[in-house]
């Protein structure tokens, strides 16, 4: 939902998936003028003789390490900002997601000063040197399902290699990313070194097509990733990194330790973040000899997890709602279509739960065809097919 204000600024409204109530209607959509200002500041920080460009390796390393420390000391606050719009309980997902961000900044800080390059003997009369140099202004367009982890995965390596970075968080979960701006200043990033631009797909399109951005990194859906690649190619042929959707399989053989499967990949892999994660175990292949035993135990384990589904603010909750009404309606539509078209057998679940909020009872489908939509396409919700 978008609207304007007296100054003509378009804004986004965001809601909590726990009960559908409004969180804020004041999230600005960054337009072309905002992007241009951010790039001007970034280019100045990167220009020869300016602070980020002339910063020595040890000082840049200290900045990244301090930033990691600040994320760690503010992790409960940052997690609450993500949780209110994502709906993932801290116990099951929030802490591990923030730990990923912290770990990335610390890990890549350790790489600073270690990009040695190459040199070759001048046997042919030519002295040849390969030197690694930063690209310049790099933009990261991150998804809504793991906003802080994605920041660590995309911003940390770019900054560690001497680039300046512009972050565009998802319009569904922008709050924690926006809060990082203050921490970036406190960590010692110079003006323009690390920036956050809120907005929707239109902001991402401006970044992907901008002539003064050297690289764009995008994590999200395949259709949007294709658009990013096209925009990058049609502009300045900027470098592109894409991490797009998939359909993660789990394979269980007769000699598998079932307890580990249910405490790890198979069940927790499905219900973690309500299945809204790239490595959710959304299709499971089980060897014949263990199939019946596996299925009975899997069904029981998923039913037990239903008992810890609830308000993401509760310390006892392990499963929360899906991110918003659009995702909620999309997942239920996929389940209902599969059921009506006999696209496999629905063993249990697949229903909306509760009078308010976007909660879905995890759905288990059996005997789906290899070409069926629910076995082939990424659903990004609590739906599993077992064959």
Q: Tens digit of pLDDT for each residue in 287-336?
A: 999 999 999 999 998 998 888 999 999 989 999 999 999 999 999 999 99
Q: Tell me, what's the pLDDT at 274?
A: 93
Q: From the candidates 51, 278, 313, 378, which is the catalytic residue? A: 278
Type and span of the H or E element at 196: strand 194-196
Buried b (16+ CB within 10 A) or exposed e, 50-83: bbbbebeeeebbbbbbbbbebbeebbeebbebbb
For 80-136, what is each residue's pLDDT tens digit? 999 999 999 988 788 899 999 999 999 999 999 998 889 999 999 999 999 999 999
Q: pLDDT grade, residue 39 (50/70/90)?
A: very high
pLDDT, average across residues 3-19: 81
pLDDT band at 4 (very low <50, low <70, confident <90, very high): low
Q: What is the pLDDT of residue 355?
A: 87
| Residue 333 confidence (pLDDT) | 97
CA-based end-to-end distance of the chain: 40
Can you tell me the distance from the alpha carbon of 149 to that of 161, in angstroms, rounded to the nearest whole number?
19
Residues 6+ apart with CB under 8 A from 314: 89
For the record, the structure tokens of 209 come out as: 């097509």
pLDDT band at 262 (very low <50, low <70, confident <90, very high): low
pLDDT band at 263 (very low <50, low <70, confident <90, very high): low
The yes-or-no verdict on residue 3 having pLDDT over 60 is: no
What is the rounded average pLDDT of the residues 151-157? 97
Cα-flanking dihedrals φ and ψ of residue 74, to 5°?
-110, 20
> Which sign does the torsion angle of CA 324, 330, 334, 340 carry?
positive
Confidence of residue 22 (pLDDT cuts 50, 70, 90): very high
CA distance linking residue 23 with residue 309, whole number of Å: 22
At residue 1 the predicted structure's pLDDT band, cuts being 50, 70 and 90, is: very low
DSSP structure string for 323-378 = S-HHHHHHHHHHHHHHHHTT-SEEEE---EESSSS-EEPPEEEES--TTSHHHHS-
What's the number of CA atoms in the CB half-sphere (13 Å) around residue 199? 22
The helix/strand/coil state of 65 is: helix
Vertex 166: Cα angle to 164 and 171 (nearest 5): 165
Banded model confidence at residue 7, pLDDT cuts 50, 70, 90: low
Give the DSSP H or E segment for 230: helix 222-234
Checking if the pLDDT of 259 tops 80, the result is no
Q: For residues 149 and 135, what is the distance between their CA atoms, to the nearest angstrom?
A: 23
Distances 342 to 247, 335, 351 between C-alpha atoms, Å: 21, 11, 17
Q: What percent of the chain has pLDDT over 70?
A: 97
Residue 309: phi and psi, rounded to 5, are -90, 130
Count the residues in the chain: 387
Distance CA 101, CA 154 (A): 10
243 catalytic, yes or no? Answer: yes
The pLDDT of residue 264 is above 80: no
| Cα gap 338→335, rounded to integer Å | 5
pLDDT of 5 higher than 60: no
Backbone angles phi, psi at 245, to 5 degrees: -70, 165
Calculate mean pLDDT across residues 359-386: 93
pLDDT value at residue 6: 47
The pLDDT of residue 370: 85
Residues 256, 278, 372: CA angle, nearest 5 degrees: 75
Mean pLDDT taken over the chain: 93
**Residue 314 class from Cβ within 10 Å (0-12 exposed, 13-18 middle, 19+ buried)?**
middle
Residue 360 β-bridge partners:
352
Of 32, 40, 133, 243, which is the active-site residue? 243
- What is the pLDDT, as a whole number, of residue 94? 83
Q: Which is more confidently placed, 109 or 5?
A: 109
């Amino acid at each position: 939902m978008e609207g304007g204000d007296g100054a003509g600024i378009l804004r986004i409204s965001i809601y909590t998936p726990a009960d559908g109530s409004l969180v804020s209607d004041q999230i600005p959509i960054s337009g072309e003028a905002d992007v241009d200002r951010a790039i001007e500041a970034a280019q100045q920080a990167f220009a020869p003789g300016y602070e980020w460009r002339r910063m020595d390796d040890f000082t840049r390393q200290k900045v990244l390490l301090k930033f990691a420390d600040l994320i760690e000391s503010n992790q409960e606050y940052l997690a609450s900002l993500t949780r209110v719009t994502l709906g993932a309980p801290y116990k099951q997902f929030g802490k591990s997601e923030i730990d990923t961000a912290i770990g990335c900044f610390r890990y890549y800080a350790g790489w600073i000063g270690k990009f040695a390059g190459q040199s070759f003997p001048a046997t042919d009369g030519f002295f040849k040197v390969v030197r690694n140099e930063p690209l310049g202004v790099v933009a990261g367009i991150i998804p809504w399902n793991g906003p802080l982890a994605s920041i660590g995965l995309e911003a940390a390596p770019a900054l560690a290699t001497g680039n300046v970075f512009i972050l565009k968080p998802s319009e569904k979960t922008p709050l924690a990313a926006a809060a990082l701006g203050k921490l970036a200043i406190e960590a010692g990033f110079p003006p323009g070194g690390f920036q956050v631009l809120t907005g929707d797909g239109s902001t991402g399109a401006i970044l992907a097509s901008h002539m003064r951005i050297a690289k764009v990194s995008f994590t999200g859906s395949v259709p949007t990733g294709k658009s990013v690649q096209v925009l990058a190619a049609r502009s300045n042929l900027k470098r592109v990194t894409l991490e797009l959707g998939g359909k993660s399989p789990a394979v269980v053989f007769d000699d598998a330790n079932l307890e580990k499967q249910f405490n790890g990949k198979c069940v927790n892999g499905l219900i973690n973040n309500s299945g809204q994660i790239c490595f959710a175990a959304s299709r499971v292949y089980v060897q014949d000899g263990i199939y019946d035993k596996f299925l009975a135990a899997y069904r029981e384990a998923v039913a037990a997890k239903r008992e810890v589904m609830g308000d993401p603010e509760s310390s006892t909750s392990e499963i929360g709602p899906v991110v918003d009404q659009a995702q909620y309606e999309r997942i239920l539509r996929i389940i209902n279509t599969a059921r009506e078209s006999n696209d496999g057998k629905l063993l249990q679940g697949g229903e909306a739960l509760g009078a308010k909020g976007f909660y879905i009872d995890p759905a288990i489908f059996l005997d789906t065809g290899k070409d069926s939509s629910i076995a082939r396409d990424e659903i990004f919700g609590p739906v599993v097919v077992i064959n």
